[in-house]
Structure 1
């Protein structure tokens, strides 16, 4: 019986891992990395000190970001900066860091959708 329970737990755990739909290694339509968060695909695009999060559906088509809000935590070496994001255009959120993002910086997104559901993604 104990072996059966262990096997069942492993099967469930494996199924959950497969069910988590991640785009950590895939690129979005604008060339940035993508992660699933709060029911959408979030694509990170960085140009100098401007951070853009493009909001996309499962087909990587833009969806309305109306009612979305968010921020990113940028960590580079010992430096940390939180940047508030604002909706710009139909399907993007943007914010400006104090300085251009360094290569290898880690960006953690906190995103809240129009329904009030929030989540995080790490790039």
Structure 2
């Protein structure tokens, strides 16, 4: 997996790839000014390994930095992080939680643009 973070939290992740170069390509411009810092990601790396081994792991408290996203997307992603593991919600529910009950399609678009794979689980 590829991970990019700021001082505030994770900014972008990729799903697991066969080669590191594939992660770099998927991270795109998010990695342009990033400096390699494997030690910075040790805790989340351990969580991800446990997650992929099938353990119950929560990423709800993992700090994220999505300040450059629209307020609605940020709210939808935040709401998605509160969905309990194993449960699903509709895009209508997600839109309501994000502050606009009339925007279920926009909630779906927010999830389609989810740049924090695994950290924000698209269970809607």
Structure with the higher helix share, 1 or 2: 2
Q: Which structure has the greater CA radius of gyration?
A: 1
Higher relative contact order (CA 8 A, sep 6+): 2
Query: Which category of TM-score, normalised to the shorter sequence, fits these structures?
Result: under 0.3
Q: Indicate the structure with greater strand content.
A: 1
TM-score, scaled to structure 2? 0.26
| Structure-1-length-normalised TM-score | 0.26
